Structure 1
């Protein structure tokens, strides 16, 4: 497909993190899905956790859009595909609207996506209008939709906020604080280290989304008829098709751990493995499942520290993993997948939890974030693949743990611009490659294949 497709679309942004973007996007998606509209949601920047809520709300897969990590052409291709099958496209921003070199504002301006600004107005009056004006006018030619006030105390507070706007047409409504009563008041979307609790871990997740959708339905934004959304229609054109990738994993069976302990999985990474020719089979270590017959194994990130007892109780799987390694079959373990292979982890309360013990070393879970941001592995890190691919394997890092291991350091995932500060080590032990680096496989598919023995 190369023809342009028009579809209403919004980028939901904010002046900073913690303003309520995820709640608003999930509420919008749920509200319109309940009305029978086909909604597709995307998330700006690298994020595995917010998409769990958006998938539940919309009923469709959620992919990241990131001008640096996934690239503009990938963004355009996915938006074009979504526009061809959806009635509405929603894009959740990341951090503040103008934060970072590949900011949400840059994405919106480059792709022509109107910006809806969500502002936490809980401790704000007339300054709300100044902040809205600044977000709207700070960059020239920024597509603009309006502003939504969040955590508003009541109608009098909402009237005060609305009166402070320079342009009355910017007002799209006010949301009150939304809580869930389950014995005691709790946050609508609860958090822990790394971010939001995944929706599938909460039995009342859909009820939480319905509560948010019900509140949004009372706002001008929520009361808009489908035809009114055409004011934000965007023309999406697919980029030229790229060169086909060699099927470097053709005929290879790749097993992927996928459950609450290994939940940080981009669906697009699975798509890339299949496009490389792999036969992908997911399995759940937490549910006692054993290792499928495979030539390679991917252990994605997640929360093995929360499920250490259940993982170590699956002794059959641990012995299968040991045999897999002894046979020289590759394992790529990232983030929590790397932690699960270690001998133990020291939790924040000082308890020591044993893990699989297949990678020498131990981890420590800290109270403070240890690393955050984009990283990339240069082609020179992949000895046999170096001559075939000039693009680095891009991705990101985000973790509260540190690792002390005697395993060999065979590569470094660097900040953009080859900045060695904060580099993430890639460890090798036998057939294991492990790191806190979370790659976006589509950025350099042949290098991703190399990690799984396709080199």
Structure 2
């Protein structure tokens, strides 16, 4: 059995300040000498960048629909192994997930699987006795869910927070933050911008920690987390291999940094030496047997990417040797012929896939998808299935001769489409795939790279 103090910081909806509370609480706990393991429910890449800054530890995604219960338990226990406490930020509202009629993919599902007490963040601005109705709903909608307290955000004063506590009948108010527009994190698309140092200075994160120490009952939070029951030890805890099977270079800089940490951890545990490089700043890719181009914001750095002719030539040389190249979303864009930005300017990209990408000012795709491959590739035989997520503001026009290796089924409406653009050993897709949904894919990719050792 594994005894890990833990709790879920959930919300009634998006935009109630979950990430702000997570950041402030994480730093406040670290000031007490505690090592904090952080997690994010759902397929989000942005909030984890804040958790990483706050905890100085890698943040892991936990997604019930994509990963399944066994992988959730294994990832959570592995990443929490040496921590004093684990904090898990929810996604959207507490009960929101892959379906409006089931708990699949929701924060509530993760809390139940991990037997983790839940603190629910509420926008309490302009509210008093109504908080009691919210409390009643939280306690009775799914009675087996361990809701342990409320965080009442956007309160007008300490007196307002005390008034809310007086209105409640069972749950404690363990904290709450006032509105501070001067300390708000920058936003882009559907959520926060990434927590890059130049965009979010450390002093801004520390200021939220100062407020958490003033407005939260941290001792009560530690007591709630410490009362979480022991978990059965996960069976699939793989140890680090004794030898290196292959080297995979992966893009990591301002333009490319959206990876599921669990995917990278699986590669390492199966014997891969992962070598980061920057398509913006470096002149060549490292010596490697495979190439992994993750998601990100290549449109924000299109000029720098297009002007780095040495890097473009280096990747072309890599491709000419027939080594596997895998690109997701931003990585797919980089693999294409060109990218047209929102100002209408066209930037040359790698040109390894015959595609032309156009950025849009409105969302083009969002949501869970299930993939079934239609032909053999380094991911596996035809008929290989896995799950992932789409989130994009661009469209792509691909030359009709390209192989479309994926049949996509959207989770929400079961709509079918074709995607997954393959040319030889080059494969690119808008889908952010999570290999916990089919661990054999990770092994297949490694074996394809091993052939070039």
Q: Could you tell me the TM-score, scaled by structure 1's length?
A: 0.88
Deviation at 1:409, TM superposition (A): 1.2
Cα distance change on mapping 1:423 and 1:165 into 2, 3 Å: farther
Whole-angstrom CA distance in 1 between matches of 2:70 and 2:283: 38
Cα distance change on mapping 1:229 and 1:163 into 2, 3 Å: closer
Matched, 1:415 2:410: yes
Unaligned runs of 5+ in 2: 98-103
Deviation at 1:230, TM superposition (A): 5.6
Q: Deviations over 1:44-90 (max 9, x none)?
A: 11121111111111121111112221221122123333554222111
From 116, 120, 123, the counterpart of 1:117? 120
Matched, 1:403 2:399: no
Cα distance change on mapping 1:385 and 1:253 into 2, 3 Å: closer
Please give the residue correspondences for 1:18-417 in structure 2 after superposition, counting only pairs within 5 Å.
18-100=15-97, 101-167=104-170, 169-180=171-182, 188-193=184-189, 195-202=191-198, 204-222=200-218, 224=220, 226=222, 228-229=223-224, 232-241=227-236, 251-378=245-372, 381-382=375-376, 392-406=385-399, 407-416=402-411
Give the paired residue count.
441
Q: Deviations over 1:18-50 (max 9, x none)?
A: 111111111111110111111111111112111
Whole-angstrom CA distance in 2 between matches of 1:440 and 1:114: 26
Cα distance change on mapping 1:273 and 1:175 into 2, 3 Å: same
Cα distance change on mapping 1:337 and 1:439 into 2, 3 Å: same
Asked if the contact 1:79–1:236 (Cα under 8 Å) also holds between the matched residues in 2, the reply is no
Whole-angstrom CA distance in 1 between matches of 2:341 and 2:379: 38
Q: Does 44-53 or 169-178 show the bigger shift?
A: 169-178
Deviation at 1:350, TM superposition (A): 3.0
Whole-angstrom CA distance in 2 between matches of 1:397 and 1:245: 31
Whole-angstrom CA distance in 2 between matches of 1:271 and 1:280: 10
Cα distance change on mapping 1:66 and 1:391 into 2, 3 Å: farther
Asked if the contact 2:24–2:212 (Cα under 8 Å) also holds between the matched residues in 1, the reply is yes
Q: Deviations over 1:362-394 (max 9, x none)?
A: 11212221112222323665468766x997322
Unaligned runs of 5+ in 1: 181-186
Q: Could you tell me the TM-score, scaled by structure 2's length?
A: 0.89
Whole-angstrom CA distance in 1 between matches of 2:259 and 2:444: 19
Asked if the contact 1:109–1:142 (Cα under 8 Å) also holds between the matched residues in 2, the reply is yes
**Once superposed, what is the RMSD of the aligned Cα atoms?**
2.8
Q: Deviations over 1:229-270 (max 9, x none)?
A: 4653331222223799999x9633211111111010222222
